[in-house]
Amino acid sequence: MTVGDSMTADGAKALYDGFGRHINYLRLSLTDHCNLRCVYCMPLHVPAFVPQPDLLTEEEIELVAQAAVGVGFTKFRLTGGEPTLRPEVVSIVRRLAHIPGLGDLAMTTNGLLLPQLAKDLAAAGLRRVNIHLDTLHPERLPQIMRWGTLKRIWAGIEAAEAAGLVPIKLNAVVTRGFNDTDVVDLARLTLERDWHVRFIELMPLGNDQCGQLSRERFVSNVETCRRIMKALGPLTPLPNQNPSDESKNYRLPRARGVVGFISPVSEPYCGSCNRMRLTADGKFHLCLLNDDELDVKAAIRSGGGMAAVQAVLSRAVALKPTGHHLIQQVLVEGASTEQRHMFQIGG
């Protein structure tokens, strides 16, 4: 497979990277601000956020999305920081949802503002949400998610479900000593609800306190899976509907929902990665675990239009790396990504 433009089997435009991967999924970070300070993601005191003038405007975000659709991107996810903190979030969703050819539009959120926003987001064209919830224990949740409360996050989940932003997917990052013993309760939710509960391994990004904690508190999904099966019974594998899906999905006996495991450290899925990331300050971040970036905001603000954006995006796809050494980063000092934190990339 050669790098660059090609066509899919149904005749649609497509971009392939240098490793033959079909890249068609763009994660758009709307802001690096967050109203939580999860211990593995964001320091309590952030030295500086991206100044407002340096954020991509909603018109610029729309232009990037239009350009991406034009070269074959079909799946889009709004991330942060916390995307619902962006004042124009509903307007941004509406703009993107009306782009011809855009296939799927979802959001990853902590859910705190969904009671106020879920109906408007759904009406604007958002289809689904992934909600971050690390534990069901009210007293332990602030220890890992710091400024969050179970009551507020649960209200956000209920608001999303009521607005039709389904299937509900809950993301739990498993951290030893904080919530590793709580995974059974989270998995148990799938027995009565048609939700997806996914367990995510810690990724040691950066050399600060968050990166250090991620190395010291790492829990393999092998261990998490065993803990769940010991308490709730066997997990039956479900067919893989999409080879680029990072989650390996299972179902507990007689369960309505799905238990998923996202294992970037113990079972890397780089070979099937289909993602490109746009940071809130307008950089295409070529790989979550690599510092390389290309500046698309500069191309736009120097007068470039659709063609200029597509040229930068095509180059970013062509340069997209593969493979990482996260397991070594867990075991020894160092990090793959040093210049940005997770909240600055969008996950």
Instruction: Name the residue ranges covered by the structural domains of the chain.
Output: 22-344
Mean pLDDT computed over 205-229: 81
What's the rounded Cα separation, in Å, for the pair 110 and 129?
Answer: 10
Collapsed DSSP state (helix, strand, coil) of residue 293: strand
State the DSSP string of 172-210.
Answer: EE--TTTTGGGHHHHHHHHHHS--EEEEE-----SSSHH
Output the average pLDDT for the chain: 89
pLDDT digits (tens, 9 = 90+) for 110-127: 999 999 999 999 999 999
What's the rounded Cα separation, in Å, for the pair 288 and 44?
Answer: 22
Instruction: Please state the length of the chain.
Output: 347
On whether the CB atoms of residues 298 and 308 are closer than 8 A, the answer is no
pLDDT digits (tens, 9 = 90+) for 238-290: 998 887 789 999 999 999 999 999 998 888 888 889 999 999 999 999 887 67
Q: How many Cβ atoms sit within 10 Å of the Cβ of residue 8?
A: 12
Q: What is the CA radius of gyration of the chain?
A: 19
User: Nearest 5°: phi and psi at 60?
Assistant: -70, -40
Among the listed residues 9, 14, 51, the one whose alpha carbon sits nearest the alpha carbon of residue 31: 51
> What is the band of 2 on the pLDDT scale with cuts at 50, 70, 90?
very low
pLDDT digits (tens, 9 = 90+) for 302-345: 999 999 999 999 999 999 988 655 544 444 444 455 555 555 56
On whether the CB atoms of residues 170 and 186 are closer than 8 A, the answer is yes
- Residue type at position 169: K
pLDDT at 290 (0 to 100):
73
Q: In the CATH scheme, what is the homologous superfamily, with its name and number, of domain 22-344? A: Aldolase class I (3.20.20.70)
SS (H, E, C) 58-95: HHHHHHHHHHHHHCCCCEEEEECCCHHHCCCHHHHHHH
